[in-house]
Structure 1
Amino acid sequence: MTSTLSPAELTQQLESLESRMAYQEHWLDTLDQAVAQQERRLATLEQLSALMRERLREQHQARHMDDAPDASRPEDDIPPHY
């Protein structure tokens, strides 16, 4: 099926396609920037999560060391007025 379009109609179709392509390129760039920003944010959150895990591990180990029978805990101390 062949369609004969006038030069003006072809020009209009070409301009429409170019406009749509420019719009899509703009949104592709915008999405690319958003993905890059999310990747940076994810990396930062992963680092923060790793630091928090390490601190929790250290606190957990310190707490178990405090639970040793020879270690005195403040809550076990008898207040001076007794």
Structure 2
Amino acid sequence: MTSFFQGLGLSYEMAWGVATVCGILLIAFPLMLGVAMIIYADRKIWAAMALRKGPNVVGPLGLLQSFADGLKVFLQETIIPS
């Protein structure tokens, strides 16, 4: 893959770096997509078991629910007991 990027005019070091990042993304992206699908399915299953609506409120088909949960965690006020 390094030779491909060298053919585009990049130096060896730069081509190696770009090839490494591409390799990491080729491995990491399907894993992250799989985890997102498992989380979505888990939410739908638990919603059906509790007889309530599933995660279909945030975004199309509830695909932004995990991002909303992450944003909620980061925006929560830190409470330190006295």
TM-score by length of 2: 0.47
Structure with greater helix percent = 1
Kindly indicate whether structure 1 or structure 2 has the higher relative contact order, using CA contacts under 8 Å at least 6 residues apart.
2
TM-score by length of 1: 0.47
